[in-house]
Structure 1
Amino acid sequence: MFEVKRKEIMQVQGLELTDIAEEFGTPLFVYDGEKIVQQINKLKNGFSGAPTRIKYAVKALTNVSILKLMKSQGIGVDAVSIEEIKLCMHAGYEPSEIMYTPNCVGFDEIKEAVELGAMINLDNLPMLEKFGQAYGGKVPVAIRINPRIMAGGNSKISVGHIHSKFGIPTSQLPEVIQIAEKYGMVINGLHVHTGSDILDAEVFLRGANVLFQEAPKFPDLKFIDFGGGFKIAYREDDPSTDMERVGREVTAAFNEFCKSYGHQLELWLEPGKFLVSEAGTLLVETNVVKETPEIAFVGVNSGLNHLIRPMFYDAYHEVINISGQSKEKKPYNVVGYICETDTLAADRKLEEVKEGDILAFKNAGAYSFSMASNYNSRLRPAEVLVWKGKANLIRKKEEFADLLKNQVILDI
């Protein structure tokens, strides 16, 4: 059993991770395209009880090749910036397939999104007023509602509560209706998103019930968007969202609502992490094993500049020494090469680590490369997509020239 599990961990579609690391170098992000397709199908099957559209939350991982893979599977996209809209269009998406949900942006960016043809989803009254003044009823708009629900695995990723900057509180919906009537606006969708790492159907149903209560006030709806936030497993014994149960209960409630509303609407979802997190692995090389009387440190050629989630969210990423040869394990703190506290994994039992060993960080597909930086003037790594049994380079490793290309150097 140990050898079977170890083999699964060390391979992607039959390719050895150590071979991929040798071919492309480290640090390196590796994505399993088949795993992404499996997650898409799991979501489709779970919500098959209603006419459902899946909109991938692009911010999780924006590589154009990943976006093209999503499109090939019939998945739309949810963008939160004008640049994400353009990346999606570069990947071949029609503007009508892109939902744009900005937060605290200038109205010029919203106007540009309209000009590009993206669908618009607004979450505050001032921008709704400006939108009505500019477009009246010529451009439909969706509304993001704040359901006043505290949900999610971490306060930093809970976005539907009373102190969150996201969404229009239900108490302000009469003003939304006033603005819409004033300018003859067409509100074609309602949207809610409570947070990330949500396990139970009950949380989604609470958000759904908020929308169901408010939806009759909006006669032109085409869809209701339940957002995303499905939980994935970070540890071997971690629970994850029971997609079959959540899909069954949410679609049943949705269909019942549609009967009272008067016609069938579309059910929209916006998963990000759920689709790509488990598909991603960050491969790093051990620079040094530093033994102290208290603890052993494994220093690797990466850090919070490539994987900020452990320091930012206290996120857990399973770590495996894929170069290890022994079943015996020792406790280590895996740390980065950044001049900052960048503990990537604390007190982990790993097969004895030696200089040059390759470590694999699991669940590195979402909010990993997309949040990477050049802190300490370090370079961002390459990305590889394993697709149909072949490892494909989809982003080159940065070079020193990339650090200088946008600098204007004075003659001092």
Structure 2
Amino acid sequence: MWQNGAVTATERSPIHYATMSGFSRHDEHLFVENLPLVEVAKRFGTPCYVYSKQVLLDNLAQLKAAFPKSTPRFFYAVKANSNLAIIRVLCDAGCGFDIVSAGELARVLAAGGDASKTVFSGVGKSADDIKAALQAGIGCFNVESAQEMTRIESIAEADQKMAPIAVRVTPDVDGDTHRFLTTGVKESKFGVPPATALAMAQQAASSAHINFLGFACHLGSQICREAVYISAAQAMVELVKQARIAGITVQHMDMGGGFAVDYDNGSTLDISLAAYDATLADFFSDTPVWMEPGRSITATAGVLLTTVEYMKPAGDKYFWLVDAGMNDFLRPMLYDAMHRIEMVKNTTTPPLTGDVAGPICESADILGRNCTLTAVTGDVLAVRDVGAYGAAMMSNYNSHPRPCEVLVSGDKVELVRKRELINDLFRDECIAFVD
């Protein structure tokens, strides 16, 4: 296992090939940019998250190119991947940030981000969250209930500040996605109905301590149909019209994110957005549009490296038992998500078909089902497209230390999160009531 202290600066691989972008195969090797992943695994051990800086930048550029007419302002949704190095790359690329906690705000600031270019979303903001954001100079609160707005107003008054807000609207548009990823229907815990949003906007516009900026909506994640976004835009433009009739100034319209990633083929923005772009440009021609993408930027930029510990037949099934589990990567278990799993180095071993399973004592701990691989004990596998909601959702379940994370740029690789050690698991615990 590669020890934490062994890598303190940029490392270079001894193997050099022609310049490549993202993840690709060269002969028998799977590469991340100009580095063979087998070398990354040797240096840092497994499990290990590996990110490509170039893919991050390419995905952001592709997203911007999808909206040439409406030219939205982009705020990266930090919850997708909150590693400081990822935040810094996107900050340097001109992104603002969408956060859902004071902890994420602290990460943005630590990475060099600007609070004034940050949007604070989330349904359960505590008083401490609000105070921290106001103190930092937050760009906008996306307010999700009438009581939350009252709390923000009260805290802003006590601190003698103006709180910038937008009201998050639930337009009752079904994102046609996994039920755990749907946030735009009226039964959702997120946002408020349009009529309530209009009343809140009127109240905010007359407040001495609230600066009303506009409205926001977000339909969920992994939305694959362009028509869904257009339906949301139609609902939101009607609300803007009503607000302006009531004499309320709308300074921006936040349309959220949710753009689907094609996990089968490892591509972002799997749908055309030309009609949606044209709709936004038409509906909000005099109103700046904001967007909050997360998954579509980071998902395909990451892989999880894991080593086969054992091979095991079980009835009609076959298992590769690996050192990464649901504590390291939860998406397959939480969302029934299917991620491609590949050999880091191709071999001539006859292929087998079976499941890739982790070490956690749960039957649900299956990273991949019905995989065809040539892997044997000791081989390294790559779980693809894990850059979003992978490391961000790690845990210490079964008392497993969390894996390390590395960022690659060209032929350079840097450790951007140390691997936890066993003693780290109970570093902050103590034994109580001992005589």
TM-score normalised according to structure 2 size: 0.87
Are the equivalent residues in 1 in contact too, given 2:312–2:321 (CA < 8 A)? yes
Q: Which residue of 2 aligns with 1:258?
A: 284
One-letter code of the match for 1:171? A
Q: Matches of 2:268 and 2:94 in 1, distance apart?
A: 28
Are the equivalent residues in 2 in contact too, given 1:226–1:270 (CA < 8 A)? yes
Q: CA RMSD in A?
A: 2.1
Q: Report how far residue 152 of structure 1 moved.
A: 4.3
Q: Which residue of 1 aligns with 2:289?
A: 267
The match for 2:229 among 196, 204, 209 is 204
Q: Matches of 1:208 and 1:8 in 2, distance apart?
A: 47
1:215 equivalent to 2:240? Answer yes
The match for 2:172 among 148, 158, 163 is 148
Distance verdict in 2 for CA 1:331–1:79, change over 3 Å:
same
Distance verdict in 2 for CA 1:8–1:326, change over 3 Å:
closer
For 1:227, what is the secondary structure of its paired residue?
A: coil
**Deviation sequence 1:209-242 (CA, Å, 0-9, x none):** 1110101305322211111111111113989533
**Deviation sequence 1:67-124 (CA, Å, 0-9, x none):** 1000111111100000000100011111111111121232332222112111211111
Q: Which residue of 1 aligns with 2:270?
A: 241
Distance verdict in 2 for CA 1:145–1:163, change over 3 Å:
same
Are the equivalent residues in 2 in contact too, given 1:132–1:179 (CA < 8 A)? no
Q: Matches of 1:175 and 1:268 in 2, distance apart?
A: 22
Are the equivalent residues in 2 in contact too, given 1:107–1:127 (CA < 8 A)? no
Q: Report how far residue 200 of structure 1 moved.
A: 2.4
Q: Matches of 1:173 and 1:241 in 2, distance apart?
A: 32
Are the equivalent residues in 1 in contact too, given 2:168–2:197 (CA < 8 A)? no
Q: Which blocks of at least 5 consecutive residues in structure 1 are unaligned?
A: none
Q: Which residue of 2 aligns with 1:132?
A: 153
**Deviation sequence 1:224-272 (CA, Å, 0-9, x none):** 1111111111113989533xx41x323322232235xxxx222111111
The match for 1:229 among 258, 281, 284 is 258
Are the equivalent residues in 1 in contact too, given 2:343–2:381 (CA < 8 A)? yes
Q: Matches of 1:182 and 1:359 in 2, distance apart?
A: 58
Q: Report how far residue 16 of structure 1 moved.
A: 0.5
For 1:140, what is the secondary structure of its paired residue?
A: strand
Q: Which residue of 2 aligns with 1:123?
A: 144
Q: Matches of 1:92 and 1:238 in 2, distance apart?
A: 29
Note the 1:370-385 alignment, pairs <5 A: 370-385=392-407
Q: Matches of 2:268 and 2:423 in 1, distance apart?
A: 44
For 1:211, what is the secondary structure of its paired residue?
A: helix
Distance verdict in 2 for CA 1:64–1:101, change over 3 Å:
same
Q: Matches of 1:237 and 1:127 in 2, distance apart?
A: 39
Are the equivalent residues in 1 in contact too, given 2:64–2:71 (CA < 8 A)? no
Q: Report how far residue 404 of structure 1 moved.
A: 2.0
Are the equivalent residues in 1 in contact too, given 2:72–2:288 (CA < 8 A)? yes
Q: Matches of 2:82 and 2:219 in 1, distance apart?
A: 22
1:287 equivalent to 2:309? Answer yes
Percent identity of equivalent pairs = 30
For 2:169, what is the secondary structure of its paired residue?
A: strand
Q: Which blocks of at least 5 consecutive residues in structure 2 are unaligned?
A: 1-23
Distance verdict in 2 for CA 1:220–1:345, change over 3 Å:
same
Q: Report how far residue 182 of structure 1 moved.
A: 5.1
Are the equivalent residues in 1 in contact too, given 2:268–2:300 (CA < 8 A)? no
The match for 2:386 among 345, 364, 369 is 364
**Deviation sequence 1:176-218 (CA, Å, 0-9, x none):** 1453255354320211110111122211111111110101305
TM-score normalised according to structure 1 size: 0.92
Distance verdict in 2 for CA 1:6–1:196, change over 3 Å:
farther
Are the equivalent residues in 2 in contact too, given 1:324–1:357 (CA < 8 A)? no
One-letter code of the match for 1:22? K
Q: Which residue of 1 aligns with 2:59?
A: 39
Note the 1:4-403 alignment, pairs <5 A: 7=27, 10-118=30-138, 119-135=140-156, 138-181=162-205, 183-184=207-208, 185-216=210-241, 217=243, 219-236=248-265, 240-242=269-271, 245-246=272-273, 248-259=274-285, 264-326=286-348, 328-341=350-363, 342-351=365-374, 353-403=375-425
Distance verdict in 2 for CA 1:237–1:112, change over 3 Å:
closer
Q: Report how far residue 159 of structure 1 moved.
A: 0.9
Q: Matches of 1:237 and 1:168 in 2, distance apart?
A: 35
Distance verdict in 2 for CA 1:368–1:116, change over 3 Å:
same
Q: Report how far residue 44 of structure 1 moved.
A: 1.1
Structure 1, 385-394 or 31-40: larger mean CA deviation: 385-394
Distance verdict in 2 for CA 1:9–1:131, change over 3 Å:
farther
Structure 1, 302-311 or 317-326: larger mean CA deviation: 317-326
Structure 1, 400-409 or 314-323: larger mean CA deviation: 400-409
Distance verdict in 2 for CA 1:265–1:389, change over 3 Å:
farther
Are the equivalent residues in 2 in contact too, given 1:382–1:398 (CA < 8 A)? yes
Q: Report how far residue 321 of structure 1 moved.
A: 2.1
Structure 1, 400-409 or 304-313: larger mean CA deviation: 400-409
One-letter code of the match for 1:191? A
For 2:70, what is the secondary structure of its paired residue?
A: coil
Distance verdict in 2 for CA 1:177–1:188, change over 3 Å:
closer
For 1:186, what is the secondary structure of its paired residue?
A: strand
Q: Matches of 2:335 and 2:308 in 1, distance apart?
A: 24
Are the equivalent residues in 2 in contact too, given 1:279–1:364 (CA < 8 A)? yes
For 1:365, what is the secondary structure of its paired residue?
A: coil
